[in-house]
Each structure stands twice: as C-alpha cells, then as structure tokens.
Structure 1
C-alpha cells in the first residue's frame, strides 16, 4: 500500500483545488457531502487503509 504522504501528493497533482483531510482509521466523520474534500483514512503505520473518497 501507499503511505499517506504518497496519496496526498497524487491527489494534489491530479486536482490541486481539493482539500485533503487525513483521518486515522476508525475516526468518526459526518455524512455531509463536500465535493472539494477528499477523505484519506490511514493506519498507525501511515499506510492508506481504504480508497480515498470525495466527501
């Protein structure tokens, strides 16, 4: 898997207007959809734990 920093770099290179929001896996989130946010869940080893999603 990729690290959080790698994912952020890829996301920002594809769309620099998106706000990347790092979240430790298991974190609670609200369900309001924000088209300019990308949620990136990572584990304690800084590896991505699920596919980043707009939200």
Structure 2
C-alpha cells in the first residue's frame, strides 16, 4: 500500500499547499510546522461550528 494513501485529508491539504516549501525543512522544522498547521486547522474547524 502506498504511504500517500494513508494520509489524512488534513495532511494531504498541508502537502498540497506547502509541500514545496517544506522540502528544505529539517525534520524538527517539519514537526513544528505541522503542529502550527494543526492548530490553524483546529481553529478553523471551531469557527465553522459557530
């Protein structure tokens, strides 16, 4: 099974929008970016619930 198939919709969105930018980041920077992206998406989902 292709690893890409196991990505969540959120991970796919992040890769689509920022994949090119993230290519040059270290693993720690990628983790930090993903954490920030998740916080942003959580906030967006919270706003959409209102």
Q: Which has the higher strand share?
A: 1
* TM-score, with length taken from structure 2: 0.31
Who wins on radius of gyration, i.e. which is larger? 2
Question: Normalising to structure 1: TM-score of the pair?
Answer: 0.29
Q: Which has the higher helix share?
A: 2
Higher relative contact order (CA 8 A, sep 6+): 1
